[in-house]
Amino acid sequence: MGERALVLGGGGVTGVAWELGLLAGLADAGLDLGAADLVIGTSAGSVVGAQLTSDTPLEELYQRQLAPPDGEIPMAIGARTMFTMAGSALVSPDVRSARRHVGRMALTAHTVPESERRKAIESRLTSHQWPREKRLLVTAVDARTGEFTAFSGASGVPLVDAVAASCAVPGVWPSVTIDGRQWMDGGIRSSANADLAHGFRRVVVLAPIALHTPLMPGPSQQADRLRRDGAQVAVIAPDASARQAIGRNVLDPAKRADAARAGREQAPSVAPLVNGVWQGARS
């Protein structure tokens, strides 16, 4: 077990951009969150985690977010998806049953072909190999059983497939087939899955969406539990300016550059909090 964990939460195309902007801004302040002993990525955070643990310089990753979103398809989370996710906790006897309820909707939704979606994820990642020197976890939920998992380099699953599964928003993108099982967005369990950082003494959570429902415990609730267990934790969510830059549709690639800039501009205001957690003296 290591000392420091970085948790990267879900939040769509704009979430990827905001997180990379924030990371770049924190690096400007001398805070290298990419030096974490463990990186946990959920949905958008899995894309950022895969990029951050690659050999690609952070500044290059940030600049990629500023480029025109050519070839990106604007999407939105539809009413059926919202209704199913909101109602699943009310009609299900337990959390896992609620996830299966969402999974049934995911498996029957009309989406782009799985192969097409995989190519899109492949094009976004600067490396298609699991990191060798750093530990990365990528979260997903089995659409049929509701089982939660965290893929790693030891799972035997290609990184592109793991990230595609973690980003498979039900009703928007197709579930991902891995070893005969269908996987969907890791954010169905939690928008950040910060509890996977249990045992680490210093934890920073970047949460583009700090959602808390009976189905999905939010990053703040999970952070409170980590603190009770003795960890120092900082949870960073978009400030008012960043929320305005992101807009209402987190899947709109036209908002990507604005979200990235907003993340970088927010960094100086949260750097002291992050520094207090990240740079504390080690025992």
pLDDT band at 282 (very low <50, low <70, confident <90, very high): very low
For 143, the token pair is 């659409």
- Find the mean pLDDT for residues 122-142: 96
What pLDDT score does 122 carry? 95
What pLDDT score does 75 carry? 74
- Find the mean pLDDT for residues 129-150: 96
What pLDDT score does 69 carry? 83
Q: What is the pTM of this model?
A: 0.94
43 annotated active-site: yes
Query: How far apart, in whole angstroms, are the C-alpha atoms of residue 194 and residue 204?
Result: 9
- Find the mean pLDDT for residues 120-127: 94
- Find the mean pLDDT for residues 124-130: 96
Q: What is the pLDDT of residues 77-107, one digit of tens each?
A: 655 565 555 555 555 657 888 899 889 989 9
CA angle 251, 155, 152 (to 5 degrees): 50
Annotated active-site residue in 88, 161, 175, 185:
185
Annotated active-site residue in 43, 46, 88, 175:
43
Among the ranges given (11-25, 117-131, 211-225), the one the predictor scored with the smallest mean pLDDT: 211-225
224 annotated active-site: no
Question: Best-predicted range by mean pLDDT among 102-111, 209-218, 238-247?
Answer: 238-247
What pLDDT score does 70 carry? 76
Higher pLDDT, 74 or 173: 173
What pLDDT score does 283 carry? 35
What pLDDT score does 211 carry? 74
Q: Is the pLDDT of residue 231 over 60?
A: yes
Higher pLDDT, 15 or 90: 15
What pLDDT score does 197 carry? 98
Q: What is the pLDDT of residues 22-78, one digit of tens each?
A: 999 999 999 999 999 999 999 999 999 999 999 899 999 999 999 998 767 777 765
Average pLDDT, the chain: 91
**DSSP codes joined into one string, the chain:** --SEEEEE---HHHHHHHHHHHHHHHHHTT--GGG-SEEEE-THHHHHHHHHTSSS-HHHHHHHHHS--TTPPP----HHHHHHHHHHHHH-SSHHHHHHHHHHHHHHS--S-HHHHHHHHHHH-S--S--SSSEEEEEEEETTT--EEEE-GGGT--HHHHHHHHT--TTTS--EEETTEEEEEGGGT-SS-GGGGTT-SEEEEE-S-----SSS--HHHHHHHHHHTT-EEEEE---HHHHHHH-S-TT-GGGHHHHHHHHHHHHHHHHHHHHHHHSPPP-
